[in-house]
Amino acid sequence: MHDQPDKRTKPKTGKAFLAGDIPLLHERAVECPYCGETFTINVDGSAGDQAYYEDCEICCRPILFHSEVDSDGNLLRLGVAREDD
């Protein structure tokens, strides 16, 4: 048997997970709408637009996060709000 490279064409499987050099995990500093302290969170750009709750790392109150991303996973906007807003 010879060790020759496979010259058959490989099927294309679609778009790569990373859009070029754009990271899909975005680190952002946010200010808690309750206590006013700043902390850092990671936003997953691969999941599309999202609305979710995450507790403040300082005062443990629930914060509503709303992220908007484009079709390539770039973070366009990150909003934070109190649970009772």
* 12 belongs to a structural domain: no
pLDDT digit string, tens, across residues 21-80 = 556 889 999 999 999 999 999 998 888 899 999 999 999 999 999 999 998 888 999 999
Structural domain total, the chain: 1
Q: Which pLDDT score, from 0 to 100, does residue 78 have?
A: 96
Which residues span the domain enclosing 80?
48-85
Question: Greater confidence, 81 or 20?
Answer: 81
* 33 belongs to a structural domain: no
Q: How far apart (Å, rounded) are the C-alpha atoms in residues 83 and 68?
A: 19
Residue 33, class by beta-carbon neighbours within 10 Å (0-12 exposed, 13-18 middle, 19+ buried)? Answer: middle
* 24 belongs to a structural domain: no
Q: pLDDT at residue 16 above 50? A: no
CB hemisphere CA count around 72 (13 angstroms): 7
